[in-house]
Amino acid sequence: MGKAILLLDDGRYFIGKPLGAEGETIGEVCFNTGMTGYQEILTDPSYCRQIVTMTAPHIGNYGVNPNDIESNKIQVAGFVVKESTKTPSNWQSTKSIDSYLKEQDIVGIQDVDTRAITRHIRDQGAMNAIISTIDSDLESLKKRLAKAPNMCGLDLAKEVTTPKRYVWSKGREVKYKVAAIDYGIKHNILRQLEGHGCGVTIFPAQTPASKVLEFNPDGIFLSNGPGDPAAVSYGIESVKTLLGEKPIFGICLGHQILALALRAKTFKLKFGHRGINHPVKNLKTGAVEITSQNHGFAVELDTLPKNIIPTHINLNDNTLEGICCRDVPAFSVQYHPESSPGPHDSRYLFKQFTELMDAEKN
């Protein structure tokens, strides 16, 4: 096995061994603290243009299977692990993590100190990085890395959205007609909506509000996705038009876009929230939910206008995790109630969406 190198934007570098495809990749390096769910993480469109470092030391123990994907391909720019499992053990497994990455031409690195990488990102903040298995010259790597764009100002929703409208249906009974705006939607969100009686039609991110209203749904769902929410100007303008027309439920990027449409502001977190054990307090009930999270931006709590009520707060850093509107039927959360991977504490939110649609019908 040859050599691989991970070089961070501030000059810190780590030498390890190749994982996945040979080659070179650039992205914003981040870390995820989940001990399971690596396949869902790899295929989550919210990780577009990001190099994900897994803090758990052994990745790939239970292999890869076709049931645990969150989109139709691997979405991460690169993958960093301490040690990958060559021989996975699980009855559903069809291949190893190394084979999976190679198949889809994803460059990774292993046999590096992921604890040191994580501590560095946590202390210095998120930054761009490059992984290379073909060039170990730091100066030439630095030159290519310097040309990479910063995540701030990047509209990545248009890179991961569906190119055309489609229907998600597994033949279940449909009670609600839902239009989902795809900024990078995960399959398990669609499964949860379907499980709550929703027939879901997915629309491209740049669909005008008029086309969505022409479809005449019972409710509108704003999906998760990657990049800077403030850069998704077309999404913000569309939601401004949709507000008050139909009940709206947003998750992750959809939450941020809803907040921006309501004239709040967003900001970039120092190193983001990515894991499956983040405590969030429900301000209405007082209950603490253990949540699955994946975001690098957040909504500024102090910028909420008077018609927005904060509903959830992150207990690690007191950032805003949920809102609802006083004057229109709309609410959203920053975290991932579909929990794939993660705990199921917050799945009640899908029922809350159906109740909102019921209220508007009656």
* Domain extents in the chain: 4-146, 157-361
**Active-site choice (198, 252, 324, 325):** 252
Establish whether 321 is a catalytic residue.
no
Q: State the pLDDT at residue 360.
A: 87
Establish whether 103 is a catalytic residue.
no
Q: Which residues of the chain have pLDDT under 70?
A: 1, 170-171
Q: State the pLDDT at residue 171.
A: 67
DSSP codes of every residue in 64-92: B-TTS-SSSS--BSEEE-SEE-SS---TT
Establish whether 336 is a catalytic residue.
yes
Strand partners, 31: 53
**Active-site choice (273, 278, 312, 336):** 336
**Active-site choice (40, 70, 194, 338):** 338
Q: Which CATH class is domain 157-361?
A: alpha beta
Q: State the pLDDT at residue 173.
A: 81
The pLDDT tens digits of the residues spanning 268-284 come to 999 999 999 999 999 99
Question: Matching CATH topology for 4-146 and 157-361?
Answer: no
Q: State the pLDDT at residue 169.
A: 76
Q: State the pLDDT at residue 301.
A: 97
> Torsion angle, CA of 212/217/219/224, rounded to 10 degrees?
-40
Peptide linkage before 45 cis (omega within 30 of 0): no
Rounded to whole angstroms, the Cα distance separating 95 from 75 reads 18
Domain 4-146 fold is Glucose Oxidase; domain 1 (3.50.30)
Q: What one-character DSSP code corresponds to residue 113?
A: -
Give the number of other CB atoms < 10 A from CB of residue 241: 14
